[in-house]
Amino acid sequence: MHVMSNNFRSNAEIIVKANVTGEIFECKEGLSFWGGVDPSTGCIVDVHHINNGNSLVGKLVLMPTSRGSCSGSGVLLQLMQNGLAPRALIFHEEEEILTLGAIVSDQLFNKKVAILRVSKDIYSDLAAEKMYKLGANVSIPTTINAISVNLNNWENQGVEPDFGNKASRLANAYQKMGAHPTYTCAPYLLENKPQRDEVIGWSESNAVIYANSILGAKTQKHPDYLDLFIAMTGRAPKAGVYLTENRIPKIEISVHLPTDFDDSIWPMLGWLIGDLSPNKIPLVTGLEMTSPSDDDLKALCAAFGTTSAAPMLHINGHTPGKVYSIPSKLKNFNITKQHLAKLWNKFNYADLRVDLVAIGSPHASLTECQSFVKFFNGKNCNPNVKTIITIGRDILSKAKSEGLVEQLTSAGVQIISDICWCSITEPILPPEASVIMTNSGKYAHYAHGLTGRKTRFGSLKDCAIAAQSGWAKSELPEWLSN
């Protein structure tokens, strides 16, 4: 048994003090609590993590830093409420997401998990609702991320009333504080998306990476709750990638593209780039002659955020502006067709028979909806396959105006707004489904930990074909096998 106390003295920075004892547990690589830790058990459920299956309950957890979703701070609060949290989190690199969750838990609810940063050598009441009751209001334009329910229809979807009511209360609290009811995890799809060099304060990890890397805006990857404090004050800590010197790449990743490829390459590239740069901003070369679509870049950034804690990446030829002061010699890594083939097999470990097709992680764009209609070409979903697209309210309105919603629903596709795949559980996710097909590298990474289901992965067209036939391809895509 190991002891940590308030008078603990070392070269550690104690961020949240607590007298705690417990068994030391070491995570040698970063972990996303959102999608990586089950708040109902306290166990690691990320099948791609080396510590998958281990319990964090009551442990003194040693971890370099966190990674992945900014909603990890909310998961830590859930663990605290359920009595299943670690007793201490000890980092040796900068970490903000879980740290902020611990600070909120301490200050608002008087529930403590010790937070330390050391050298490498050595809730019955909803937080947002409570803030509204204390008089909080946003002072700058603020959008709302996707939430845990389809706000206007959850009662008809079989969602448990206690869960649905809490999610509705949370949404209402944000609206009462003045936030716009956009309910999307892809705010860069909105018409008033940020401009180059605009200073913003976002928290959704895929959106932060897209804003910095593709739009050229500036935002740190803010944890849940800190984003609300920024919305209230109109100010953010002048730190991290708000500062030019902190946006400089630290490693180079050279991509050696196959001769031909389809849209499934982009989420795979994002996942691999993040895996090679788990806590450093990379400079990505080898894509200068490509013309990725906004959807391709969306998929790449989202998948990058599952394996890296970095808030951005520089894609040479695609990230706006110059990259200043790059060190003359960066450590270099390569991504080849062989790496892509290995990852495709890693994502495709389930049976070939598909029960559920999941599109919209992050939320689907209008062009993705248009393409999905085209790939159906008047055909219908297999009656044994549930096909769901999650979508933001703004895109849903446009899709309705173009007649896309009518065409998709006529084909048997269900379209759900407000919620996204990282929050979908039973009964919206069919209890009998055992294999999920998706075009999202992000969801292929998180799905098993979130749902217990195995995945198949492919292009958007592959997903449409699987929705119609009920089967996924057994072999590598042609562009990977040649």
Residues 6+ apart with CB under 8 A from 107: none
Burial of 179 (0-12, 13-18, 19+ CB in 10 A): buried
The Cα 430–Cα 398 span in angstroms is: 28
DSSP class of 215: I
Our answer to whether residue 69 is catalytic in this structure is: yes
Strands 386-391 and 454-457: unpaired
Q: Which two tokens stand for residue 308?
A: 């890296």
Closest alpha carbon to 214 in 188, 192, 238, 191: 188
How many CB atoms are located within 10 Å of the residue 251 CB? 17
Q: Which of 32, 69, 213, 365 is catalytic?
A: 69
The Cα 431–Cα 437 span in angstroms is: 15
The Cα 366–Cα 280 span in angstroms is: 33
CA distances, 145 to each of 174, 196, 202, 417 (Å): 10, 22, 10, 11
Q: Which residue has the tokens 């960066």?
A: 330
In Å, how far from its chain's centre is CA 201?
16
Q: Hey, which residues are catalytic here?
A: 69
